[in-house]
Amino acid sequence: MDKRNKPVGVFDSGLGGLTVVKEIIKVLPQEGIVYLGDTARVPYGTRSNGIIKQFSEENVNFLLKKNVKCIVIACHTSSAVAGNYLKKEFHNIPIFDVVTPVLKSLEESKKKIGVIGTRATINSKVYSKLNKVVQVPCPLFVPFIEEGEIKGKLIENLVIKYLGKLRVEILVLACTHYPIIRGVIKKVLPNTKLINPGVLIAGKLKKYLIKNNLVNYQRATAKKSFYVTDLNERFIKVSQMFLGENYRVKLKKYSWK
């Protein structure tokens, strides 16, 4: 098979990574995609670094079997905790994480930067190298969003609790779920610029594929496959919220056993 026509592999702890896929499809609509969401073991953000590395490694092994040309770690927790580990372990395939493009784009910034993410992402201190940075774990955002609690008083009060006192010029939404509640965050922090790392990684991926002559060369748009390690009615509903209405998602169950 022509290497250019192989799919791009994407994995996430669950379905939040579909917000990253959405951005990839915007800039690279013709690419094939194999997505794996580890819905049987989501969330990763509350677990130990050892387990996060182990689960992430298993996800990469699945994508390698699917013969992908490169891998995007859509999950911020995986990227922050296991990114470097995976790049070392699997040095034969290009692996992109969602943290590096953020660090690159802000490394020269003199502005006051806020980063919000899961407990594991923030504890990893991967964003601490930025100049003026405040990091806030927001562990209840993910369950709220997965429950569809994305507008109204309850989520607004939670956003105020976590971010009400934050005074920053830029806020990095360092979790795949957070773009879903950007409206609520914007309401609480109207003067703060929000950064969705999904947009940055999609741009980086596009540049990489062009530079290395790896852009899909087939005339037709290549297939997008969405695998999950656990499947129920709710996952189907939630996945549509993350991917948006423009693209119909059909989830397939993948069993380790």
With respect to a second copy, which residue has the nearer C-beta, 188 or 194? Answer: 188
Q: Which residue among the candidates 42, 113, 175, 189 is catalytic per the annotation?
A: 175
Closest CA to 192 of 222, 158, 211, 168: 168
Q: Match 């689960």 to its residue by tokens.
A: 55
Cis omega (within 30 of 0) on the bond before 43? yes
Question: Does residue number 188 form part of the binding site for a second copy (CB under 8 A)?
Answer: no
Question: Does residue number 82 form part of the binding site for a second copy (CB under 8 A)?
Answer: no
Name the phi and psi angles at 150, rounded to 5: -115, 0
Question: Does residue number 151 form part of the binding site for a second copy (CB under 8 A)?
Answer: no
> Is 175 an active-site residue?
yes
Alpha carbons within 13 A on the beta-carbon side of 58? 16
Question: Does residue number 153 form part of the binding site for a second copy (CB under 8 A)?
Answer: yes
CB of 255 to a second copy, least distance (A): 9
What letter represents residue 210's amino acid?
I
Question: Does residue number 48 form part of the binding site for a second copy (CB under 8 A)?
Answer: yes
CB of 156 to a second copy, least distance (A): 11
Question: Does residue number 104 form part of the binding site for a second copy (CB under 8 A)?
Answer: no
Name the phi and psi angles at 165, rounded to 5: -100, 5
Q: Which residue among the candidates 18, 36, 70, 75 is catalytic per the annotation?
A: 75
CB of 5 to a second copy, least distance (A): 34
CB of 75 to a second copy, least distance (A): 16
With respect to a second copy, which residue has the nearer C-beta, 154 or 210? Answer: 154
> Is 138 an active-site residue?
no
Positions 53 through 72 that interact with a second copy (CB under 8 A): 54
Question: Does residue number 161 form part of the binding site for a second copy (CB under 8 A)?
Answer: yes
Question: Does residue number 144 form part of the binding site for a second copy (CB under 8 A)?
Answer: yes
Q: Using alpha carbons only, give the angle 23, 134, 102 rounded to the nearest 5 degrees.
A: 30
Question: Does residue number 89 form part of the binding site for a second copy (CB under 8 A)?
Answer: no
Alpha-carbon distance 23 to 42, whole Å?
A: 22
With respect to a second copy, which residue has the nearer C-beta, 58 or 169? Answer: 58
Contact with a second copy (CB under 8 A) among 13, 19, 39, 192 = 39
Question: Does residue number 219 form part of the binding site for a second copy (CB under 8 A)?
Answer: no
CB of 219 to a second copy, least distance (A): 39
Q: Which residues bind a second copy (CB under 8 A)?
A: 39-41, 46-51, 54, 119, 139-140, 143-144, 146-147, 149, 153-154, 157-158, 161, 229-232, 234, 257
**Which residues belong to the active site?**
75, 175
